[in-house]
Structure 1
Amino acid sequence: MNNFIFTIPTTAYFGKGQINILGNTIKSHGGSKVLLAYGGGSIKANGIYDATVSQLNGAGISFVELNGIQPNPRIESVEEGIRIYRDNNCDFILGVGGGSTLDACKAIAAGVKYDGPVTDLFVDESGISSRITAVAPLATILTMAGTGSELDMGGVITVGEDHKKKVVLHPLLNPKFSILDPEYTYTVPEHHSMAGVADILCHLMEQYFTPDVAATVQDRMNEGVMKAVLEEAPKILADPQDYDARANIMWASSMALAGFQFVLGKPGFPFPLHGMGHELSSMYDMTHGVTLALLTPSWMRHTISTAPQQLPIFAQFARNVMGVSEKDDTIAAEAGIEALEAFYAAIKMPANLREAGVKEEDLEVMAEKAVENGNLGILTSIGKDEALQIMRMAF
């Protein structure tokens, strides 16, 4: 196992009624004028907005609002948030929503402390956003489980006319605290709930499928969380207000990327599926988790074919996570992939790219864009040709 540093500076307030700590906890972090950021109108329809405002008013905290943050958040929302924060002399940011809102808030938090354009702050060749030296304090109220942004240091922002996905990543971007109330996810539509499940599962798998460096603790913990996701997601389909199922999925989302714990001690930080999936979101504005479900089985088969020495990790996944009992690694690995495909079908993900509305003539452009900053992957190298093969297989 390689050396690593592990820290999670975010405090998680998990469970029913945790909104009641909001006002005083913001004050304890020095907040007196808050930028309250959120997406569409759902938090007003389900009462979360009123509960948030009541907490702020009760603690004597003034606030201004940034609303309308889109799924796959745009740089324009980030720039507007920076302007509002500065014009109103804010000293704290509160993001209320799912991963898109939280990601935008992280970019805002960095941008308000930087003199140049916020586009300077995306990940560079160092692997982090090295120009970030200070950020505004940030807290989050999570309303949809999936991205893990409530307990990690990264965010993804959509930039430019070609909707390119860019990443902000820095330890300073960990929220000061996050409120995680599973009841706040009851009203999330089924499709988005299950897309969040696919996102969680892919976060876990992309940390799992790395070269073997005897990181046994990380892998066994990861397997347990993956199994929990497989078990709990169908319960939400059966009953959207199953508190324990919602709680387990929410906590799995947070744990999947908490301090990037399951990739600690491993080589690299590959996430090739995210690299390709972002291009589907960019071109088709496709829900992030759906893109990952569409690509994962094809990526798995491609990797086994081009790097057969990696077969044992896929066979291990099949046995330890998907419940396959086959002793032969090749047969076991394929059975595991088929079981994963059956799970995606059970949670109502599209069966292939064609069914999801992708045009075959767009595949080559997306493959090229996916690797424009370098090849993807760590088990096997994915350049344009390999990305195109994977996408065609998924088509």
Structure 2
Amino acid sequence: MNNFIFSIPTIAYFGKGQIEILGETIKTHGGSKVLLAYGGGSIKQNGIYGAILDQLHKAGLAYVELSGIQPNPRIESVEEGIATYRENGCDFILAVGGGSTLDACKAIAAGVKYEGQVHDLFVDESGISSKITAVAPLATILTMAGTGSELDMGGVITVGEDHKKKVVLHPLLNPKFSILDPEYTYTVPEYHSMAGVADILCHLMEQYFTPEGAAKVQDRMNEGVMKAVLEEAPKILADPKDYDARANIMWASSMALAGFQFVLGKPGFPFPLHGMGHELSSKYDMTHGVTLALLTPSWMRHTMSTAPEHLPVFARFARNVMDVREDDDAKAAEEGVKKLETFYSAIKMPANLREAGVKEEDLAVMAEKAVENGNLGILTSLGKDEVLQIMRMAF
């Protein structure tokens, strides 16, 4: 096992009614005037917005609002947030929503403390945003489980006319605290709830499918979380207000990327599926988790075919997570992929890229853009040709 440093500085307040700690906890972290950021306004319909304002008023906290943060958040929202924060003399950021709002607010938190353009703050060759030296304090209230942004140090922002995905990543961007109330996810539409499930599962899988090594604790913990996701997601489809199912999915989302715990001691985490999936989101504004569900089986089969020396890890996944009972590794691995496809179908993900509205003539351009900053992958190296092969298999 390789050396690693493990730290999760974010405090998680999990469960019903945790909103009650909001105002005083913001004050504990030095906040007196809050930038309250959210997306399209669903929080005003489901009562979360009112509960937040009650807590801010009770604590005597001033606030200004930044609304309208889009899915696949754009740099323009970040720039608007930076200007609003500065012009109103804010000293704390409260992000309310799913991963898009949380990611945008991380970029805002970094941008308000940086004298240059926020574009400068995306990741560099070191793998982190090295120009970040200070950030505004940030807290989150999660309303949709999936990205894990509530308990990690990264965010993804859409930049430019070609909607290129850029990453902001730094330990200072871990939220000061996150409120995780499963009841706040009851009203999330079925499609987006299940897209979040696919996102969680992919985070777990991309940390799991690494060369066989000595990180057994991480892998066994990961298997358990993956199995929980597979078991609990159908319960949400059956009853969107199943508290325990929502709670388990929410906590799985947070745990999947908490300090990148399941890849600790392993040789890196290039997340190849995310690298490809971001291009689908950029081109078609496709929901992030859906892109991952569409690509994962094809990536698995491509890797199993081109790098058969790694079949044992896919067979282990099949047996320990998908409950496959097959002694032959190749047969077990393929059966595991088929069971995964059955699961994606059960949670109503599109069957292939064509069904999702992708045009075949766009595949080559998306494959080229996916690797413009370098090849993807860890079990195998994915250049343009390999990415195109995977996309064609998924088509």
Query: What pairs up with 1:185-264 in 2 under 5 angstroms?
Result: 185-264=185-264
Question: Match of 2:156, SS?
Answer: strand
Note if contact 1:2-1:213 (Cα within 8 Å) is conserved in structure 2.
no
Aligned to 2:168: 168
| Identity across matched positions, percent | 87
The Cα shift of 1:238 comes to 0.1
Aligned to 1:305: 305
| Alpha-carbon distance in structure 1 between the residues aligned to 2:70 and 2:8 | 28
Aligned to 1:277: 277
The Cα shift of 1:21 comes to 0.2
Unaligned runs of 5+ in 2: none
Q: Could you tell me the TM-score, scaled by structure 2's length?
A: 1.00
Question: Match of 2:105, SS?
Answer: helix
Matched, 1:367 2:372: no
| Alpha-carbon distance in structure 1 between the residues aligned to 2:136 and 2:117 | 16
| Alpha-carbon distance in structure 1 between the residues aligned to 2:349 and 2:244 | 23
Matched, 1:60 2:60: yes
Question: Match of 1:344, SS?
Answer: helix
Deviations 1:129-186 (A, max 9, x none): 0000000000000000000000000000000000000000000000000000000000
| Alpha-carbon distance in structure 2 between the residues aligned to 1:54 and 1:98 | 21
Deviations 1:253-281 (A, max 9, x none): 00000000000000011100000000000
Aligned to 1:332: 332
Question: Which residue identity lines up with residue 134 of structure 2 in the other structure?
Answer: A
Query: What pairs up with 1:93-132 in 2 under 5 angstroms?
Result: 93-132=93-132
Question: Which residue identity lines up with residue 106 of structure 1 in the other structure?
Answer: K
Aligned to 2:181: 181
Unaligned runs of 5+ in 1: none
Deviations 1:239-296 (A, max 9, x none): 0000000000000000000000000000011100000000000000000000000000
| Alpha-carbon distance in structure 2 between the residues aligned to 1:38 and 1:55 | 16
| Alpha-carbon distance in structure 2 between the residues aligned to 1:391 and 1:154 | 26
Deviations 1:189-239 (A, max 9, x none): 000000000000000000000112210000000000000000000000000
The Cα shift of 1:378 comes to 0.5
| Alpha-carbon distance in structure 1 between the residues aligned to 2:130 and 2:304 | 35
Question: Match of 1:77, SS?
Answer: helix
Question: Match of 1:393, SS?
Answer: helix
Query: What pairs up with 1:41-60 in 2 under 5 angstroms?
Result: 41-60=41-60
| Alpha-carbon distance in structure 2 between the residues aligned to 1:52 and 1:259 | 28
Question: Which residue identity lines up with residue 68 of structure 1 in the other structure?
Answer: G
Question: Which residue identity lines up with residue 264 of structure 1 in the other structure?
Answer: L
Q: Which runs of structure 1 show a deviation greater than 3 angstroms over 4 or more consecutive aligned residues?
A: none
Aligned to 1:91: 91
| Alpha-carbon distance in structure 2 between the residues aligned to 1:82 and 1:233 | 37
| Alpha-carbon distance in structure 2 between the residues aligned to 1:31 and 1:270 | 36
| Alpha-carbon distance in structure 2 between the residues aligned to 1:211 and 1:64 | 48
Matched, 1:345 2:326: no
Question: Match of 2:65, SS?
Answer: strand
Aligned to 1:28: 28
RMSD: 0.3
